[in-house]
């Protein structure tokens, strides 16, 4: 039995390790275009900012680590074709072209950058920022530079912007949308995050038309004006990588990603798909959505490994729970935003509160901002948080609340811990729910 | 309509405020023996340690604040009798004795200290530590002292011990049980907490026989030896205050606390009971238990207020979720301990793991210790955690997991947030569950 995995990101590697942990027999072969594996892309900003010394430090394992576990990884290798009727793939490494048969094929091909719509006269000092080689290029390139402009980036870009500003760079962030992180934060919350965090200059609703070059300087033209830069980081908008899946005959869904069932099977026999390249079901809307997060990839890999090992499991619908550290503040969200609810014409009630992380009288106390979004019957469907304290577990609680379909009034019954130096006696999440209840009762 | 509340702790005051917020009509009268109200006892250690400047700072409201809301509080007043057939109470303030009728009576009388079993020759420089006046006495008394001995205290005592040690006092903690915080932590976890935290000298299994006085010095005799002290803090073991409830004809349960139903009603018509003086149902065992925590009191008060206001709600069984900061470390727990499970002969499987709070490569990373306790089928029934990071929301997640009766294998499906500077890609709680699964499979 041979399992072939296309892609060595969180999805592919977790799958391989989880199978091997319980099964010495199955042959596992992984193909990846990349030279680097087993690193956390989320840690790239921390290296750029100097908080972690080198990109090597965020690489957890090399190919030999996997080879010792009898997992064979082909680096810098492009899978060029999938022949699902003969259960065979073809691949190219350098100028060599080879083929290999599979018993089971797992497409964990990830996602790829969208080419920006604006014109660029030449690509000198212009970079993308999605993987470790981008990070290395940027780190090298900015050494003797001063002005850096980021365009419409997601977490990794915004985190990097603040990290570089902290290190003395002049950093501007041009956001093409109504606010930063529009998939995670509604306008008032993304505005608040920008207001709280000093160091980076933001402009939203930037309609960028072109980037021109004048000697060593770049010029970004937008909204009838322009800004100059030494280095530009392009938008990180991505789309699922589906070309091999399409070639294999896999169905593609409305979001342009591979369609899978709850067992992570595609419509083609013995072909599975996990990670950024697939569509998943939203717990809230019940319809398909994307969930391009390392945590989703890891959970899908764990479920698929269990299925291969004979412990049949299903992959549950997602709520997309996210946390990130941006400058001195953290943001976190789970469920849907109000702007998304409006877009799909789903009626919601929302409330923003400003409260405290710790007891009000605690001297090192810090503000906590919460926006909660509910259906008209009080069922909690989304939450966004901002603070300079650790929000990771605070939003995890919301992840459970939303997955459990809890109503605001049911939150009163839920047990939260309390000590004045860490949190409030009436948990901030409950406070937000109580405020929403007042609105609903009206 | 007049509601009389006996007790002005978290239970009584929250009840009064929550009724008043939605009802201007009902007369609300509160009686308390205390002179101080509306403060957080959990914050006393922070004042003793100087982290919060004065005891006045932890008092959130005075009597006038409540009077303005038309809530009448009788301070320093002892309710001496309840005549439930005539729906009348008698009370004493100074030398005056009066009576008052009620339509509904709420007993929120809290708990009272147990007199220690060992002999004490005189009470000079010996204090209890449960309320703000104890705190003030201790603060005054230790000014010119050096050696302080705490005996078998709960969170408030252990926190105070570390706070005082941090301020230069020689602090010894004599624990009569197998380890500190025996209700919250199993032996290996309480041992670990002591090992991690420097500054206080601990002795466990201390069989204390007597305290004697030699001039200004006290001598504590235990295990055939003795230790001297300038100041001694007595054990904080408490029992529910039930004398008025008994007088009113209320049934008392196996744990010596007032028996109530899910609507917080006693067996006597129009008499309700909430807070430390009542028994509640354990979510895990299904039997009665105690839950002497401010958070439980507040939730019960919210539920009872809703019931008085006509929104019928029940008070759900508890899992007892706790967090506290002890020295440089925090501990947290939810559900039952293994030692409790052994005591009630409930079969469990447990596992301790040492993991990280943040990504392994993160430089400011710190250890996180987790003990998880499950039924043999993998249902999670208890968890204990130690770390120097914020554990409050981390244990809140466990509170949801235990209340939801989740099995370890179901945790794989649960969505946790991830960013390397705050948490790990496979959440530490999931790591613990995966370790237990290996044990269960064997």
* β-sheet bridge partners, residue A289: A280
Nearest residue of B to residue A395, measured between CA atoms: B417
What is the rounded distance in angstroms from the CA atom of residue B274 to the CA atom of residue B278? 6
As given in the structure block, the two tokens for residue B132 are 């703000």
| pLDDT value of position B73 | 96
pLDDT digit string (tens) for A377-428? Answer: 999 999 999 999 999 999 999 999 999 999 999 998 899 999 988 999 999 9
What is the rounded distance in angstroms from the CA atom of residue B192 to the CA atom of residue B202? 12
Count CB atoms within 10 A of the CB of residue B287: 13
Q: Do B422 and A313 touch (CB under 8 A)?
A: no
As given in the structure block, the two tokens for residue B310 are 């006509």
Q: What average pLDDT score do residues A215-225 get?
A: 95
Exposed, middle or buried: residue B59 (CB in 10 Å: 0-12, 13-18, 19+)? middle
Is the pLDDT at A442 greater than 70? The verdict is no
Question: Model's pTM, two decimal places?
Answer: 0.93
Shortest CB distance from A397 goes to which of B390, B400, B404?
B400
Identify the DSSP state of B138: H
Tell me the DSSP string of B359-407. Answer: -TT-TT--EEEEEEEE-TT-BEEEEEEEESS--HHHHHHHHHHHHTT-B
Q: What average pLDDT score do residues B83-103 get?
A: 95
Shortest CB distance from A58 goes to which of B43, B361, B392?
B361
Contact A266, A274 (CB under 8 A): no
pLDDT digit string (tens) for A388-400? Answer: 999 999 999 999 9
**Chain-centre distance of CA B204, in angstroms?**
21
Name the pLDDT band for B374 (thresholds 50, 70, 90): very high
Contacts of A360 in chain B (CB under 8 A): 60
In order of start, what are the domains of chain A with their CATH numbers?
A: 2-35+75-112+238-308 (3.50.50.60), 115-233 (3.50.50.60), 322-441 (3.50.50.60)
What is the rounded distance in angstroms from the CA atom of residue A312 to the CA atom of residue A273? 16
Q: Do A324 and B419 touch (CB under 8 A)?
A: yes
What is the rounded distance in angstroms from the CA atom of residue A48 to the CA atom of residue A16? 30
| pLDDT value of position B153 | 84
Is the pLDDT at A40 greater than 70? The verdict is yes
What is the rounded distance in angstroms from the CA atom of residue A228 to the CA atom of residue A218? 6
Is the pLDDT at A233 greater than 80? The verdict is yes
Substitution target in A47, A392, A429 with the highest count of B β-carbons within 10 Å is A392
Between vectors from CA A423 to CA B199 and to CA B140, what angle results, nearest 5°? 50
Contacts of B390 in chain A (CB under 8 A): 389-390, 393, 422
The residues of B that are catalytic are 42
Query: How many angstroms separate the CA of residue A90 from the nearest CA in chain B?
Result: 33
Maximum pairwise Cα distance, chain A: 70
Pairing between β-strand A147-151 and β-strand A170-174 as defined by DSSP bridges: parallel
Q: What average pLDDT score do residues A25-40 get?
A: 92
Name the pLDDT band for B442 (thresholds 50, 70, 90): low
Tell me the DSSP string of A378-423. Answer: -BEEEEEEEESS--HHHHHHHHHHHHTT-BHHHHTTS-----TTTS
Is the pLDDT at B366 greater than 90? The verdict is no
Alpha helices in B197-242 (DSSP H): none
pLDDT digit string (tens) for B395-439? Answer: 999 999 999 999 999 998 899 999 988 999 999 999 999 999 999
| pLDDT value of position B237 | 86
Task: Calculate what percentage of chain B has a pLDDT beyond 70.
Answer: 100
Place of tokens 């419409």: A152
What is the rounded distance in angstroms from the CA atom of residue A59 to the CA atom of residue A132? 9
Tell me the CB-side half-sphere exposure of residue A280, using CA atoms within 13 A: 24
Contacts of A418 in chain B (CB under 8 A): 42, 293-295, 323, 392
Contacts of A389 in chain B (CB under 8 A): 390
The residues of A that are catalytic are 42
Identify the DSSP state of A223: T
What is the rounded distance in angstroms from the CA atom of residue B231 to the CA atom of residue B145? 7
What is the rounded distance in angstroms from the CA atom of residue A405 to the CA atom of residue A154? 28
Contacts of B163 in chain A (CB under 8 A): none
Contact B77, B32 (CB under 8 A): yes
Shortest CB distance from A392 goes to which of B293, B316, B417?
B417
Query: How many angstroms separate the CA of residue A29 from the nearest CA in chain B?
Result: 23
What is the rounded distance in angstroms from the CA atom of residue B201 to the CA atom of residue B174? 8
Between vectors from CA B409 to CA B407 and to CA B415, what angle results, nearest 5°? 95
Q: Is ipTM strictly over 0.95?
A: no
Tell me the CB-side half-sphere exposure of residue A120, using CA atoms within 13 A: 13
Exposed, middle or buried: residue B309 (CB in 10 Å: 0-12, 13-18, 19+)? middle
Q: Do A361 and B413 touch (CB under 8 A)?
A: no
What is the rounded distance in angstroms from the CA atom of residue A205 to the CA atom of residue B245? 66
Q: Do A419 and B334 touch (CB under 8 A)?
A: no
Identify the DSSP state of A280: E
What is the rounded distance in angstroms from the CA atom of residue B276 to the CA atom of residue B241? 8
Exposed, middle or buried: residue A249 (CB in 10 Å: 0-12, 13-18, 19+)? middle
Contacts of B401 in chain A (CB under 8 A): 400
Count CB atoms within 10 A of the CB of residue B372: 28
**Chain-centre distance of CA A130, in angstroms?**
11
Q: Do A400 and B397 touch (CB under 8 A)?
A: yes
Is the pLDDT at A365 greater than 80? The verdict is no
Contact B425, B359 (CB under 8 A): yes
Substitution target in B393, B398, B401 with the highest count of A β-carbons within 10 Å is B393
- The answer for residues whose C-beta is within 8 angstroms of residue A78's C-beta and 6 or more apart is A31, A33, A91, A92, A93
């Amino acid at each position: 039995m041979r399992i072939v995995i296309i892609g060595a990101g969180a999805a592919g590697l977790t799958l391989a390790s989880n199978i091997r942990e319980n099964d010495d027999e199955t042959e596992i072969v992984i193909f990846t275009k990349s030279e680097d594996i087993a690193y956390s892309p989320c840690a790239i900003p921390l290296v750029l900012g100097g908080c972690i010394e080198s990109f090597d430090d965020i690489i957890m394992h090399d190919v030999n680590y996997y080879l010792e576990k009898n997992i064979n990884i082909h680096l810098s290798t492009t899978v060029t074709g999938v022949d699902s009727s003969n259960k065979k793939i073809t691949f190219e490494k350098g100028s060599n072209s080879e083929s290999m048969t599979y018993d089971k094929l797992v497409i964990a091909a990830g996602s790829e950058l969208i080419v920006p719509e604006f014109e660029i006269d030449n690509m000198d000092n212009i970079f993308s920022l999605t993987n470790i080689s981008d990070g290395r290029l940027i780190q090298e390139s900015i050494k003797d530079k001063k002005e850096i402009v980021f365009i419409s980036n997601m977490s990794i870009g915004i985190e990097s912007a603040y990290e570089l500003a902290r290190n003395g760079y002049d950093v501007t962030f041009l956001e093409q949308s109504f606010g930063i992180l529009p998939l995670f934060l509604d306008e008032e919350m993304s505005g608040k995050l920008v207001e709280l965090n000093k160091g980076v200059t933001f402009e939203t609703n930037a309609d960028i038309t072109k980037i021109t070059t004048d000697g060593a300087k770049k010029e970004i033209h937008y909204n009838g004006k322009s800004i100059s830069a030494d280095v530009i980081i392009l938008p990180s908008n991505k789309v699922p990588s589906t070309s091999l899946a399409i070639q294999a005959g896999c169905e593609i869904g409305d979001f342009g990603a591979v369609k899978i069932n709850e067992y992570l099977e595609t419509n083609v026999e013995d072909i599975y798909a996990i990670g950024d390249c697939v569509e998943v079901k939203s717990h809230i809307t019940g319809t398909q959505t994307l969930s391009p997060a390392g945590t989703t990839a890891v959970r899908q890999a764990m479920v698929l490994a269990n299925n291969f090992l004979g412990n049949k499991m299903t992959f549950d619908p997602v709520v997309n729970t996210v946390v990130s550290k941006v400058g001195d503040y953290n943001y976190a969200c789970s469920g849907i935003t109000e702007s998304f609810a409006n877009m799909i014409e789903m009626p919601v009630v929302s409330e923003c509160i400003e409260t405290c992380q710790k007891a009000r009288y605690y001297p090192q106390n810090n503000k906590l901002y919460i926006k909660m979004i509910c259906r008209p019957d009080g069922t909690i469907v989304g939450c966004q948080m901002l603070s300079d304290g650790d929000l990771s577990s605070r939003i995890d609680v919301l992840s459970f609340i939303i997955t459990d379909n809890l109503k605001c009034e049911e939150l009163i019954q839920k047990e939260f811990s309390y000590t004045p130096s860490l949190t409030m006696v009436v948990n901030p999440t409950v406070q937000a729910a109580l405020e929403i209840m007042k609105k609903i009762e009206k």
